[in-house]
Amino acid sequence: MTTQRIVVDRNRCTGIGICESIFPERFEVDDDGTLIVHDTVVTAENRAGVEDAVQACPAAALSLASRDEE
Ligand code: SF4
């Protein structure tokens, strides 16, 4: 089964938190400006919110990667 996961490019992320404002259940910027992704797995239930956050990131720091998993 192929699962998609959220990937963060830490070299691009500026920690401003647009993703957090769109999908706070998944994305959180801590007091140091470091992005925390609470769960990287994309499911049917959260796909719309995840894709909205990925597209809204002004630094293009978020992407989705497919991985084959058993
Ligand atoms: S919106 Fe993009 S740049 Fe901003 S905290 Fe989220 S991943 Fe980082």
> Residue 27 belongs to what H/E stretch?
strand 27-29
Condensed to tens digits (0 to 9), the pLDDT of residues 24-54 reads: 999 999 999 999 999 999 999 999 999 999 9
- Give the CATH number of domain 2-68: 3.30.70.20
Annotated domain spans of the chain = 2-68
pTM as predicted: 0.92
Task: Return the closest-CA partner of residue 61 out of 53, 44, 33.
Answer: 53
Decide: 27 and 20 in contact? Cβ < 8 Å: yes
17 backbone φψ class: left, alpha, beta (φ>0; ψ -120 to 50): left
Q: Pocket of ligand 1, candidates 9, 11, 16: which has the most ligand atoms within 8 Å of its Cβ, to mutate?
A: 16
Best of 62, 63, 64 to mutate for ligand 1, by most ligand atoms within 8 A of CB? 62
* 2: confidence class by pLDDT, cuts 50, 70, 90: confident
